Amino acid sequence: MLANIWNTILYQPLINALVFLVSIVPGGDVGIAVIILTILVKLILFPLSQKSIESQAEMSILTPELNKIKGSGTSKEEQAKQTFELYKKHKVNPFSGCLLVLIQIPIIFALYYVFYKGINFQGGLLYSFVHVPEHANMIFLGILDISQKSLVLAILAGVSQYLQAHFMPAPAPKSAGNAGSFGESFAKSMHMQMKYIFPFVVAFIAYSISGAVALYWITSNLFMVAQQIYVKKEKNFKVVIK
């Protein structure tokens, strides 16, 4: 049941979109089709991911105020009341970012699975109006074979992952005299791991599978970098206007 829903709603539309793109891009370059499909999916998810990034940025901005409330010495009930009032004043929902990320995960995973499973144009997954391309060129730009492992693309995938983590809103530093909660310490630890450890994990996985997966990761990460820069500038602009 779940497998049928997965194929019908997510995997099948994406593999058909990839086949269609390969049939129309110059020379049937599968690498270019991978980039275009990744960008299209990112554009569709743009409103959701933008809200998620904005939510992270807003929570980071409010962290010093939250630290003051926690260090005030008042009762837990009073701290909870002040925290709620702070969120209400700034119109921030601390759970919205998590919810938006959860909505995106199945779609992003399905897109990744399309490239992980291999560029397979055969079988019963293609719609009747989508035809198998006469020529599918796996040599990206006539240089790199994305059907095989690619050290160059794997390294670029790791570098792009580092850049993506670098431009993520960083957890705000703890205020003086405040030891910080477990949640804050965990958030800081996760940010450090995403920035300095996960890029190596991404590079290893990208090299272990294929150049197509690496190309997907590079495109996805660079799109996120551009989006994070855009959201940051937009946020600063709104602050100036206010």
pLDDT in tens, 37-69: 999 988 988 887 777 777 766 776 777 777 777
Q: Which two tokens stand for residue 58?
A: 């807003």
The rounded mean pLDDT for the chain is 77
How far lies 55's CA from each of 62, 83, 98, 180, in Å?
Answer: 11, 16, 9, 21
pLDDT digits (tens, 9 = 90+) for 71-124: 777 777 777 777 777 777 776 666 665 655 666 678 777 878 888 776 666 667
Q: Which two tokens stand for residue 209?
A: 């599978």
pLDDT digits (tens, 9 = 90+) for 171-228: 545 544 444 554 455 556 666 777 778 889 889 988 888 888 889 889 999 998 998 8
What ranges in the chain are assigned the alpha helix state H?
2-5, 12-24, 30-44, 46-70, 76-90, 96-117, 151-166, 182-196, 198-209, 211-241
Q: Could you tell me the pTM of the whole model? A: 0.75
Q: Which residue has the higher pLDDT, 56 or 142?
A: 142
Closest by CA position to 156, among listed 144, 147, 170: 144
Closest by CA position to 170, among listed 86, 53, 68, 69: 53
The model's confidence at residue 133, banded by pLDDT at 50, 70 and 90, is confident
